[in-house]
Structure 1
Amino acid sequence: MPDVIVIGAGHNGLTCACYLARAGLDVLVLEQSDTVGGCINTRDLPDGRGRLELGAYEHGGIRGSGVAADLELETRHGLRFHLRDEVTLGPADDGARIAFHNGLEETLELLRPVVGPSETDAYARFAAWATAGMKLVGSLDSGPPPSFGQLAAAAQATLGAEAAPFMQTLLGSASAVLRATFEDERLMAPMAHWAGHSQQSPLDPGTGGGGLMLAAFHGAPAARPAGGSRATVEALVRCLEAAGGRVVCDAAVSAVEVSGGRASAVIAGGERHVATRGVVSAIDARRLLGSGGLVAQEHVPDRLKRELRRVHSGLRNVSELKVDAVIDTLPQVEPAGFDRAFMLSANTITDIEQAFASVQLGELARRPPVMIAFPSTLESGWAPEGKAVAWISTFVPWRPADGAWDEAKLEAAADHAWSVAERALGARMGVVERRITGPVSWVARHGNANANPNHIEMSIDQLLGFRPTPSLSGYKTPIDGLFLTGAGTHPGGGITGVPGRNAAQVALASLGVGSRGARLARRARERSALVRDAWKATRELRSAS
């Protein structure tokens, strides 16, 4: 019998399982799908026709967070990254190319002939301020999150006079932050698109921090796994197995049993699996503890039931559509080398604001934001000789105004996204073979409400100490031995592994695994790093103001 059962083999569930297994626990991971990965889903086409990246693309987060190093994914378990300085490109419909390089100075040189010296200078100041601010925010990722009150108090203590404008930025909208800083709507568009990547309109309160993120990356190259995104989860599985853990696929969990106030067993695929120490759920809190969830309602406190009823996903009616294809030739992309970049094409900030408004009404946007990448530019093996592979993602309504999704609607939406991408790139892309992954297909893959890769919305009322609810924000539930991880916990979505690591640390402490001295020493190091980063951010914010 395993010590701990982890429900869900997305990258956070696997990350959590790896930390637990490496601490000496016997860990079993149960996954409903036929393959591990969740939103990570790389598929080979039959007969050598190519390879498609159906899910997540960029993986710099799991490298930058330190999780890959902690688990020795690169040094021991075969993970290898393609690192690139051509980080992001914002192709606009008028032919403008808003290019973001790893180096700030290189980015300024690329921007100056496109948006002019005044906007370029404004970006330089904005990048310095954004970098300093996001260092402070990033220092909060490890461990249970603070409440907004605690964050404000910490900002006041460390940032002094800069605390108020910084908090105003975080609580405000990305659109307000960007429009107060720049004039060129094409320059604002990729930064607004980055803020909207979490399926929140850049006009929404609480997206201001997202509006800083693209400008805050300078100094860290983009990272994508060699062999495709599945290489990350394959390395995590190897890490888990090396520590004695195992994964079972096609094992949909139907119930979590509670005995004597403690999570004791999991029912999956008609089998009962006893967990001698605990259970970790990498699926969202509502599916675990809400009405009709895996845990019987008599074990859920009334206060938590009320909190769970307030958890939301889909209030803005936003979902995602993926179009992946083998194409007859790679489009020519300028500047040179940026065909390797991850592209955020929203055209203008007004266009992306209007796109979210259209989607909320159940309509396809006239000019939707599209994310574009060409994985075949980084390595061979993705397409037959002379051809290429395109990766395109866009936002679509979860509930179309004219009725449920069907094959005809999916094809029409995919055609529209494809034509928008062609217009932005200024090139035709002849399709040899394509695959469409719509909202219903995503739910079948990972089960998340509204096909939301973040499990629940990344709205201001579901961040930090509110994620997923105030009572559950510390990765523990009121039921002994039952823990939460995944994108529905702090700090949220993205391929970082941070929710998995944080949940594992909480579970290990709760289960009394590992020495108390080692845990105290780790917490002391983390607090010391927080203070150091906060003071550094203070100096940088003041110099950037």
Structure 2
Amino acid sequence: MPADVLVVGAGHNGLTCAAYLARAGHSVTVLEARAAPGGCASTVDAIGARVNICNCDHTMVLASGIVEELDLAGHGLRYLDVDPVEVAIGWGDQPAFVQYRSIEQTIAGLERVSAGVAAAYRRYVDATLPLARLVVAAAAAPPSFGGLARLAALDSGPAVVARLLSWRRRSLFDVLGSFGLPPWIQAAFATTGPGVWGVSPAAPGTGMAAVGPVVRHLAGVGRPAGGSGALPDALAAVVTAHGGTIRTASPVAGLVVDAGRRPAVRGVRLADGGQLTADAVVCAVDPRTVLVDWLPQEVRRPRDARRPAPDGYESKVDAVIAAPPVWRAMPSAGHVATTVVSPAPGRLTAGVTDRVTDPPMFLVNIPSVLDPAMRPPGGGHLLSLEVLWTPYALPGGWRDSPEPRRWLERLAELAEPGFLDGVGAWRAMTPEDYERDFGLRRGYAPSFAGGPLSALLARDRPLTRYATPVRGLYLTGAGTFPGAGVWGASGRNAAHAVATWLGSR
């Protein structure tokens, strides 16, 4: 019997969408190309341990309400609090920066470095908190400009909207510098903001990245017990508990569309030649794949063919280590939080090139310190090392590249002697590997490129309203509003849009 809805892609956004629709009583089937659901939020077996495909820190999903609304705790999800929420060090002699969930505790730590820096941080937080609340609230439902106006009226009124308009045009460095924040804090926030997006923090339009660090004060940071994959596992459990079906090893090759005056989707074509029909299809994959590769040529829009197809720029090393590194810059760090390692701001202005940035940008965490379930069975700890701005098209290729080993050696330069001697089994995931194993074209993880204002003005309707020009065809995932990271808001918003359409026919 045909399903009401087919959801293509079992990453956390696709599963979130499916969970809301199944809970509302719709017949839902999720199709996943890989052998298991979870996508880039998965935790998998490798190097004799359980490793996270991407970073294990979750923030936005904690602020979204999805965990409570879907009763994910009742389906096995348990979060471990991460506090401090972040530690940042550099490659020189700059001070370490420790950000706590508590604003006052963070400022107290900065007071021990400089009263001026502490005062600058307070000015920054005071100005940014209203924007952070607005951004989190605005992602709680499909965006609309009227919704923005109502939300702004609940906080600081027109001043908040004016700040949003200003920051979206400015660069991150410009915004942070206007409060007097020192370069070593600017560098840390640049790494976890535009650095993760693959763009220069000196570029106009990156100013809204200043909101992200303050959201950590609002929502905190958590890690699912047992690894990041516990979140998609709980979402999958909700889907099946409400009668939904998840089919793995079922790659989709295209869409079945009635082309006419009002094109309408009828289902999907599977890679094995089979077809499945449904009233609605929700694609939780790269929007370009859907709108350019999967739609019949006669119903494609010319503007969709011009959608960028950028290269990936992030790699990750997982390693079994004898003991966590002891940082020279901060020997007392306990490795509960992710450690952000940043070059000086001037090194970040070029953006991604065809070379690995040197000194590199690292996101380092030892998930087994906080979560004993992540400890390798043979003893020791687990190192997760994300390396930003590592180009897909590396000169000479990745296959025999010495780069991944060099990253471990560079990391050892930041630690007390002996760390490198304790590195056991390890593996590297480069952009080529993400393309092969996760279907990410040229290793690029899609990310919604517009800011909140672009979404609220619907400047790209399929990415901000989730409905495409083809009736019954919807988009969700990191390529749609509100964007990348472990959030789930896109999945929930898309489910709302689909349910509204199904109910109106």
Q: TM-score, normalised by structure 1?
A: 0.84
Aligned twin of 2:403: 413
Alpha-carbon distance, 1:194 to partner: 2.0
Question: Is the 2:363–2:386 contact (alpha carbons within 8 Å) kept by the matching residues of 1?
Answer: yes
Q: Residues of 1 paired with 2:312 and 2:342: CA distance?
A: 16
Question: Is the 2:99–2:106 contact (alpha carbons within 8 Å) kept by the matching residues of 1?
Answer: yes
Aligned twin of 1:181: 179
Aligned twin of 1:531: none
Letter in 1 for 2:408: W
Q: Match for 1:374 among 366, 372, 386?
A: 366
Aligned twin of 1:353: 349
Q: Residues of 2 paired with 1:328 and 1:468: CA distance?
A: 51
**SS of 1:277 mapped into structure 2:** strand
Alpha-carbon distance, 1:310 to partner: 3.4
Q: Residues of 2 paired with 1:393 and 1:400: CA distance?
A: 18
Cα deviation code 1:296-316 (max 9, x no counterpart): 12233xxxx2221332242xx
Q: Residues of 2 paired with 1:461 and 1:83: CA distance?
A: 28
Distance 1:331 1:467, change over 3 A: farther
**SS of 1:244 mapped into structure 2:** coil
Alpha-carbon distance, 1:67 to partner: 0.9
Q: Residues of 2 paired with 1:425 and 1:133: CA distance?
A: 37
Alpha-carbon distance, 1:23 to partner: 0.9
Q: Residues of 1 paired with 2:448 and 2:394: CA distance?
A: 21
Distance 1:25 1:513, change over 3 A: farther
Letter in 2 for 1:322: K
Alpha-carbon distance, 1:70 to partner: 1.1
Cα deviation code 1:215-263 (max 9, x no counterpart): 3422433100000011111111111110111111111101110136321
**SS of 1:407 mapped into structure 2:** coil
Aligned twin of 2:278: 276
Question: Is the 1:99–1:110 contact (alpha carbons within 8 Å) kept by the matching residues of 2?
Answer: yes
Alpha-carbon distance, 1:400 to partner: 3.6
Distance 1:299 1:495, change over 3 A: same
Question: Is the 2:467–2:474 contact (alpha carbons within 8 Å) kept by the matching residues of 1?
Answer: yes
Aligned twin of 1:85: 83
Q: Residues of 1 paired with 2:410 and 2:91: CA distance?
A: 9
Alpha-carbon distance, 1:200 to partner: 2.4
Aligned twin of 2:305: 309
Distance 1:466 1:338, change over 3 A: farther
Q: Does 1:73 align with 2:72?
A: yes
Deviates more, 1:362-371 or 1:376-385: 376-385
Question: Is the 1:31–1:249 contact (alpha carbons within 8 Å) kept by the matching residues of 2?
Answer: yes
**SS of 2:72 mapped into structure 1:** coil
Alpha-carbon distance, 1:445 to partner: 2.7
Letter in 1 for 2:486: I
Cα deviation code 1:409-457 (max 9, x no counterpart): 2xx221232233333345534310101101011112332333222x146
Q: Does 1:501 align with 2:501?
A: no
Runs of 5+ consecutive residues of structure 1 not aligned to the other structure: 515-545
Q: Residues of 2 paired with 1:258 and 1:162: CA distance?
A: 44
Question: Is the 1:85–1:102 contact (alpha carbons within 8 Å) kept by the matching residues of 2?
Answer: yes
Aligned twin of 1:486: 477
**SS of 1:341 mapped into structure 2:** coil
Question: Is the 2:42–2:232 contact (alpha carbons within 8 Å) kept by the matching residues of 1?
Answer: no
Q: Match for 2:192 among 187, 191, 194?
A: 194
Alpha-carbon distance, 1:386 to partner: 4.8
Alpha-carbon distance, 1:463 to partner: 4.9
**SS of 1:90 mapped into structure 2:** strand
Letter in 2 for 1:7: V
Q: Does 1:242 align with 2:241?
A: yes
Deviates more, 1:490-499 or 1:87-96: 87-96
Distance 1:298 1:374, change over 3 A: same
Question: Is the 2:461–2:468 contact (alpha carbons within 8 Å) kept by the matching residues of 1?
Answer: no
Q: Residues of 1 paired with 2:341 and 2:126: CA distance?
A: 24
Deviates more, 1:62-71 or 1:375-384: 375-384
Question: Is the 1:122–1:182 contact (alpha carbons within 8 Å) kept by the matching residues of 2?
Answer: yes
Letter in 2 for 1:270: D
Distance 1:461 1:507, change over 3 A: closer
Question: Is the 1:491–1:498 contact (alpha carbons within 8 Å) kept by the matching residues of 2?
Answer: yes
Alpha-carbon distance, 1:199 to partner: 2.2
Q: Residues of 1 paired with 2:478 and 2:466: CA distance?
A: 12
Q: Which structure 2 residues correspond to residues 107-122 of structure 1 after superposition, within 5 A?
A: 107-114=106-113, 116-122=114-120
Question: Is the 1:30–1:251 contact (alpha carbons within 8 Å) kept by the matching residues of 2?
Answer: yes
Q: Residues of 2 paired with 1:94 and 1:391: CA distance?
A: 22
Aligned twin of 1:323: 317
Q: Residues of 1 paired with 2:81 and 2:392: CA distance?
A: 38
Distance 1:234 1:268, change over 3 A: same
Distance 1:338 1:329, change over 3 A: closer
Aligned twin of 2:221: 222
Deviates more, 1:192-201 or 1:99-108: 192-201
Q: Residues of 2 paired with 1:19 and 1:231: CA distance?
A: 18
Question: Is the 1:198–1:458 contact (alpha carbons within 8 Å) kept by the matching residues of 2?
Answer: no
Q: Which structure 2 residues correspond to residues 39-78 of structure 1 after superposition, within 5 A?
A: 39-45=40-46, 49-74=48-73, 76-78=74-76
Question: Is the 1:192–1:202 contact (alpha carbons within 8 Å) kept by the matching residues of 2?
Answer: yes
Q: Residues of 1 paired with 2:257 and 2:379: CA distance?
A: 57
Q: Residues of 1 paired with 2:42 and 2:176: CA distance?
A: 34
Q: Residues of 1 paired with 2:158 and 2:124: CA distance?
A: 20
Q: Residues of 1 paired with 2:457 and 2:376: CA distance?
A: 44
Q: Residues of 2 paired with 1:287 and 1:123: CA distance?
A: 42
Cα deviation code 1:21-79 (max 9, x no counterpart): 11111111111112211112322247xx32222323112322220111111101x2010
Q: Does 1:441 align with 2:438?
A: no
Q: Match for 1:464 among 439, 455, 459?
A: 455
Q: Residues of 2 paired with 1:201 and 1:370: CA distance?
A: 16
Letter in 2 for 1:118: G
Question: Is the 1:90–1:347 contact (alpha carbons within 8 Å) kept by the matching residues of 2?
Answer: no
Distance 1:401 1:378, change over 3 A: closer
Distance 1:480 1:160, change over 3 A: closer
Q: Match for 2:121 among 120, 123, 132?
A: 123
Aligned twin of 1:30: 31
Q: Does 1:15 align with 2:11?
A: no
Question: Is the 2:312–2:443 contact (alpha carbons within 8 Å) kept by the matching residues of 1?
Answer: no
Q: Residues of 2 paired with 1:421 and 1:329: CA distance?
A: 14
Q: TM-score, normalised by structure 2?
A: 0.90
Distance 1:513 1:182, change over 3 A: same
Aligned twin of 2:7: 6
Aligned twin of 2:413: 423
Alignment RMSD = 2.7
Aligned twin of 1:160: 158
Aligned twin of 1:294: 294
